[in-house]
């Protein structure tokens, strides 16, 4: 039996207000799609099977290096975070896994597993953190971790990743995600080749400890926290890493980790074509690694990413990239943002499923440029909300995510038992 945090009667009452309209909207969209030769139920079933992981760190209020403005009822620890994730999962019916970050979420792994399974949640990839120092550890990552010049520091970073694998084994994760902040701030500070060599050597040791059915994901990022050079700075380096490490190594694409205007969907296609696309950290950005809500700035780009994914999926039934949200909520209730983002990611998937791939391919082969472009536009402009809402409704989720969450008064309730965090304190809970 799965425990529900939000009383199901609240969800039912909110859904009752909207279910007749939803049925009408769904049927009318179904008719229109039918004319395009598309079965709405087939799309809905695919959407219903879609899952996106929620990062444990996403449910705490974020901050910038200037300030943090804590919200009420913020999670105090990983167990509160799991409860917040359970709310997101209950209402969206699209996020039944949580991604942990160690050491932020360090706790008895068996308790973690129990706490999650109570709400029907599992654990996605486990994330190591060697971009910040940990209390009690002898070496500092100030000058790098897995790529550091100092052997003892590299060893400590390796051991941290091995510990993450061990924790992951107990809680049921099947992948380790490694993102490092290593790089340099001054020309001449490091020898690029030597630093990368150190990184590869360290990663080979981590890789050799992976269980057979695990994958390792490396995440590239153009800059920050290092501002002159970064060790894993782009998808090319990331691809090299995955190739060097072996079959269990894949590249992760975080949408915010590229220069503005980079054609991310093409990177997605390249990595997938050569069997090295592991998955995503979804978020949106205007300038850099802004970590804004997925779909909030450039929903067309998100659609184009999914257009590539569906293209691969249509040729390879075993293609299963790992989807996760990775965003920072500075001015919104994180639960609200994460619910809407999960739904926006699903929306892009549903829209991409509407593309007539045979006709698109024919137009491409005939160099009929505008017909090809039009296929994408028609799909993107289709309002698929009734499909998303119907999928949620049928699975026991909320037709209107925001209204239902607000009607539940969850945040006000947890604010009674979770003490207010001091203004200006660290964004990391
Ligand atoms: C780095 O910017 C990143 O995207 C990595 O995924 C980290 O693990 C995550 O943010 C949390 O800091
Ligand atoms: Mn990320
Ligand atoms: Mn990031």
3-state SS of the chain? CCCCCCCHHHHHHHHHHHHHHHHHHHHHHHHHHHHCCCCHHHHHHHHHCCCCEEEHHHHCCCCCCCCCCCCCCCCCCHHHHHHHHHHHHHHHCCCCEEECEECCCCCCHHHHHHHHHCCCCEECCEEECCCCCCCCCCCCCCCCCCCCCCHHHHHHHHHHHHHHHHHHHHHCCCEEEECCCCEECCCCCCCHHHHHHHHHHHHHHHHHCCCCCCEEEEECCCCCCCCCEECCCCHHHHHHHHHHHCCCEEEEEECCCCCCCCCHHHHHHHHHHCCCEEEEEECECCCCCCCECCCCCCHHHHHHHHHHHHHHHHHCCCCCCEEEECCCCCCCCHHHHHHHHHHHHHHHHHHHHCCCHHHHHHHHHCCCHHHHHHHHHHHHHCCCHHHHHHHHHHCCCCCCHHHHHHHHCHHHHHHHHCCCCCCCCCCCC
The verdict on residue 151 lying in a domain is yes
Asked if the model's pLDDT at residue 398 lies above 50, the reply is: yes
How many Å lie between the centroid of ligand 1 and the Cα of residue 120? 26
The verdict on residue 246 lying in a domain is yes
Atom of ligand 1 nearest to the CA of 224: 2
Asked if the model's pLDDT at residue 16 lies above 80, the reply is: yes
Asked if the model's pLDDT at residue 191 lies above 50, the reply is: yes
Residues 276, 278, 281, 285, Cα dihedral to 10°: 20
The verdict on residue 99 lying in a domain is yes
Q: Which of 105, 180, 326 has most ligand 1 atoms within 8 Å of CB, for mutation?
A: 326
CATH number at residue 268: 3.20.20.150
Q: Is the Cβ atom of 254 under 6 angstroms away from ligand 1?
A: yes
The verdict on residue 56 lying in a domain is yes
Atom of ligand 1 nearest to the CA of 181: 1
Mean pLDDT value across residues 238-262: 97
pLDDT in tens, 131-148: 999 999 999 999 999 999
Q: Is the Cβ atom of 221 under 6 angstroms away from ligand 1?
A: yes
Q: How far is CA 94 from CA 13, 86, 339, 398, in A?
A: 21, 11, 9, 11
High-pLDDT (> 90) share of the chain, % = 97
Instruction: Please list all protein residues whose beta carbon sits less than 5 angstroms from ligand 2, which is an ion.
Output: 254, 281, 326
pLDDT score recorded for residue 423: 59
Could you count the other beta carbons within 10 Å of the beta carbon of residue 147? Answer: 26
The verdict on residue 5 lying in a domain is no
The confidence band for 1, taking pLDDT boundaries of 50, 70 and 90, is: confident
The verdict on residue 341 lying in a domain is yes
The number of domains in the chain is: 1
Q: Is the Cβ atom of 217 under 6 angstroms away from ligand 1?
A: no
CA-nearest residue, atom 1 of ligand 1: 179
Could you count the other beta carbons within 10 Å of the beta carbon of residue 391? Answer: 25
The confidence band for 424, taking pLDDT boundaries of 50, 70 and 90, is: low
pLDDT score recorded for residue 420: 81
* Domain residue limits at 81: 51-355
The confidence band for 203, taking pLDDT boundaries of 50, 70 and 90, is: very high
CA-nearest residue, atom 7 of ligand 1: 179
How many Å lie between the centroid of ligand 3 and the Cα of residue 414? 28
pLDDT score recorded for residue 126: 98
pLDDT score recorded for residue 428: 44
The verdict on residue 282 lying in a domain is yes
Q: Is the Cβ atom of 291 under 6 angstroms away from ligand 1?
A: no
pLDDT score recorded for residue 3: 96
High-pLDDT (> 70) share of the chain, % = 98
Atom of ligand 1 nearest to the CA of 101: 8
258 closest CA partner among 272, 237, 274, 242: 237
ipTM over 0.95: yes
The verdict on residue 350 lying in a domain is yes
Asked if the model's pLDDT at residue 193 lies above 80, the reply is: yes
pLDDT score recorded for residue 347: 98
8 Å CB contact between 426 and 368: no
Asked if the model's pLDDT at residue 407 lies above 90, the reply is: yes
Q: Is the Cβ atom of 90 under 6 angstroms away from ligand 1?
A: no
pLDDT score recorded for residue 427: 43
């Amino acid at each position: 039996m799965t425990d529900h945090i939000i009383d199901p009667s609240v969800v039912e009452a909110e859904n009752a207000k909207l279910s007749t309209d939803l049925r009408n909207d769904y049927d009318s969209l179904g008719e229109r799609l039918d004319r395009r030769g598309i079965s709405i139920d087939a799309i809905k079933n695919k959407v219903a099977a879609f899952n996106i992981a929620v990062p444990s760190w996403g449910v705490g209020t974020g901050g910038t290096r200037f300030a943090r403005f804590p919200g009420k009822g913020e999670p105090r620890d990983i167990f509160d975070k799991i409860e917040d994730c359970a709310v997101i999962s209950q209402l969206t019916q699209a996020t039944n896994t949580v991604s942990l970050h160690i050491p932020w979420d360090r706790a008895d792994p068996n308790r973690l597993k129990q706490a999650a399974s109570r709400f029907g949640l599992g654990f996605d990839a486990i994330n190591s953190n060697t971009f910040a120092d940990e209390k009690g550890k002898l070496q500092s990552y100030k000058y790098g971790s897995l790529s550091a010049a100092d052997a003892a520091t590299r060893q400590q970073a390796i051991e941290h990743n091995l510990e993450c694998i061990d924790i992951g084994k107990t809680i049921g994760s099947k992948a380790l995600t490694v993102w490092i902040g290593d790089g340099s701030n001054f020309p001449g500070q490091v020898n690029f080749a030597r630093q990368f060599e150190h990184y590869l050597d360290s990663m080979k040791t981590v890789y050799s400890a992976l269980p057979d059915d695990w994958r390792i994901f490396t995440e590239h990022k153009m800059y920050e926290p290092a501002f002159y050079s970064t060790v894993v700075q782009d998808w090319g380096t990331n691809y090299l890493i995955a190739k060097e490490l072996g079959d269990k190594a894949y590249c992760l694409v975080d949408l915010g980790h590229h220069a503005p205007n980079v054609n991310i969907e093409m990177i997605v296609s390249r990595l997938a074509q050569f069997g090295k696309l592991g998955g995503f950290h979804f978020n949106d950005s205007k300038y850099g690694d802004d970590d804004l809500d997925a779909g909030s700035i450039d929903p067309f780009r998100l659609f184009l990413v999914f257009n590539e994914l569906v293209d691969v999926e249509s040729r390879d039934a075993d293609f299963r990239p790992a989807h996760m949200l990775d965003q920072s909520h500075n001015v919104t209730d994180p639960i609200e943002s994460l619910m809407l983002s999960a739904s926006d990611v699903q929306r892009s998937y549903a829209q991409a499923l509407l593309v007539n791939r045979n006709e698109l391919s024919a137009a491409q082969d005939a160099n009929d440029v505008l017909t090809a472009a039009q296929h994408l536009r028609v799909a993107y402009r289709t309002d698929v909300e009734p499909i998303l809402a119907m999928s949620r409704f049928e699975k026991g989720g909320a037709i209107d995510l925001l209204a239902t969450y607000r009607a539940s008064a969850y945040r006000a309730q947890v604010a009674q038992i979770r003490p207010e965090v001091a203004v200006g304190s660290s964004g990391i809970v």
